[in-house]
């Protein structure tokens, strides 16, 4: 045979993990984790696990009983998984959601949230000298992603968070839940005074995503040294990032957050802290 097929086999001691969601077919995690498994030659597997909501809790326990190392949890289970976990990391409690579950040797279900870690690590990789304590951060949106971003920025000693959301009440509720006096809710449209001294501007809303309305924001008052980032990664360069780039601001796209948030799970389950590279970015974006 001139072109032998690369055969992926598992041993009797393979480590197993996957992603639970409903549906889960859209998830990039199997491709992402699969890339690292192949790259590092790990004796393990990571699979998509579609689970109907009524079967969710029993399925998590079943995976533990089947000897899985752990699972990622995605929509719509990021909150439901709370009740199934025996222990929660401090950041999972503060973010109010779990995306990474590990089964301990003694059968405990441990919940963690790595979204904030992914957000910070993405910015650090793209802007190595970034200093999160250097000035205010302006955060657009007050949903689940916003909460993870805010908690992570507070942990990095960000001096002030200016939080703005279409539904102002949701922003106030989020600020109250996090309970840190560095968070200020901006009522009404964002103005130059909110932007002129910001170190960081983050879109955590779904605006600008393929199929969603555009994010409309006037960046005229934004400082030149403000770093602008978007958690949306489809398209990779959102209108916000294009607009910011055109006026000379440094921009960071959202794909890296997805890639970096996966690192702690891979590390716990398979024993290696994997590297995020441009080759991985291309692989994850390329059609299956």
Alpha-carbon 106 to chain mean position: 28
**Which H or E run contains 90?**
helix 90-95
Assess 241 for contact with ligand ATR (CB under 6 A): no
Assess 172 for contact with ligand ATR (CB under 6 A): no
- Partnered with residue 46 across adjacent β-strands are 17
Q: What is residue 185's three-state secondary structure?
A: strand
**Closest residue to ligand ATR, Cβ-based?**
143
Assess 144 for contact with ligand ATR (CB under 6 A): yes
Q: What distance in Å separates the CA atoms of residue 56 and residue 77, rounded to the nearest whole number?
A: 8
Active site residue 237: no
Closest CB to ligand ATR among residues 42, 148: 148
Assess 116 for contact with ligand ATR (CB under 6 A): no
Supply the minimum distance, in Å, between the C-beta of residue 269 and ligand ATR. 24
Q: Provide the mask over 150-169, with x wherever binding to ligand ATR is found by CB under 6 A and - wherever it is not.
A: ---------------xxx--
Supply the minimum distance, in Å, between the C-beta of residue 259 and ligand ATR. 17
β-pairing, 100-103 vs 70-73, is antiparallel
Assess 23 for contact with ligand ATR (CB under 6 A): no
Supply the minimum distance, in Å, between the C-beta of residue 74 and ligand ATR. 11
How many DSSP H helices and E strands does the chain contain? 11, 12
Q: What distance in Å separates the CA atoms of residue 248 and residue 218, rounded to the nearest whole number?
A: 15
Supply the minimum distance, in Å, between the C-beta of residue 92 and ligand ATR. 15
The only residue of 114, 205, 226, 238 in contact with ligand ATR, by rule CB under 6 A: 205
Assess 122 for contact with ligand ATR (CB under 6 A): no
The only residue of 69, 142, 185, 200 in contact with ligand ATR, by rule CB under 6 A: 142
Supply the minimum distance, in Å, between the C-beta of residue 174 and ligand ATR. 9
Q: Which residue of the set 28, 78, 93, 169 is catalytic? A: 78
Q: What distance in Å separates the CA atoms of residue 199 and residue 122, rounded to the nearest whole number?
A: 16
Q: Which one-letter DSSP state was computed for residue 85?
A: -
Question: CA angle, corner 122, sides to 15 and 38, nearest 5?
Answer: 30
Assess 207 for contact with ligand ATR (CB under 6 A): yes
Q: What distance in Å separates the CA atoms of residue 29 and residue 199, rounded to the nearest whole number?
A: 31
Assess 50 for contact with ligand ATR (CB under 6 A): no
The only residue of 48, 96, 143, 235 in contact with ligand ATR, by rule CB under 6 A: 143
Assess 145 for contact with ligand ATR (CB under 6 A): yes
Write a three-state SS string for 196-258: CCCCEEEECCCCCCCCCCCCCCCCCCCCCCCEEEECCCCCCCCHHHHHHHHCCCCEECCHHHH
Binding interface with ligand ATR (CB under 6 A): 141-146, 165-167, 170, 204-207, 213
Residues assigned a catalytic role: 78
């Amino acid at each position: 045979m001139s072109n032998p097929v690369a055969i992926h086999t598992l041993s009797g001691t393979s480590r197993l993990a996957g992603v639970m969601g409903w549906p889960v077919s859209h998830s990039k995690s199997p491709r992402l984790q699969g890339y690292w498994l192949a790259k590092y030659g790990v004796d393990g597997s990571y699979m998509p696990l579609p689970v109907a909501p009524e079967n969710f809790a029993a399925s998590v326990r079943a995976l533990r009983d089947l000897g899985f190392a752990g699972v990622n949890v995605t929509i719509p289970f990021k909150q439901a998984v709370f009740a199934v976990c025996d222990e929660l990391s401090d950041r999972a409690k503060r973010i109010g959601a779990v995306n990474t579950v590990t089964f301990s040797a003694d059968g405990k279900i441990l919940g963690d949230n790595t979204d904030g870690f992914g957000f910070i690590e993405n910015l650090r990789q793209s802007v190595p000298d970034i200093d999160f304590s250097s000035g205010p951060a302006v955060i657009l949106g007050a949903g689940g992603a916003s909460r993870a971003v805010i908690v992570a920025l507070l942990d990095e000693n960000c001096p002030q968070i200016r939080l703005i959301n279409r539904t102002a009440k949701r922003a106030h509720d989020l600020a109250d839940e996090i309970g840190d006096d560095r968070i200020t809710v901006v009522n009404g449209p964002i103005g130059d005074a909110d932007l002129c001294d910001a170190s960081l501007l983050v879109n955590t809303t779904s605006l600008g995503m393929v199929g969603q309305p555009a994010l409309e924001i006037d960046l005229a008052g934004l400082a030149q040294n403000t770093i602008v980032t978007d958690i949306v990664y489809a398209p990779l360069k959102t209108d916000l990032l294009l607009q910011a780039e055109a006026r000379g601001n440094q921009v960071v796209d959202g794909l890296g957050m997805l890639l970096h948030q996966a690192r702690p799970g891979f590390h716990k389950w398979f024993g290696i802290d994997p590297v995020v590279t441009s080759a991985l970015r291309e692989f994850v974006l390329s059609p299956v």
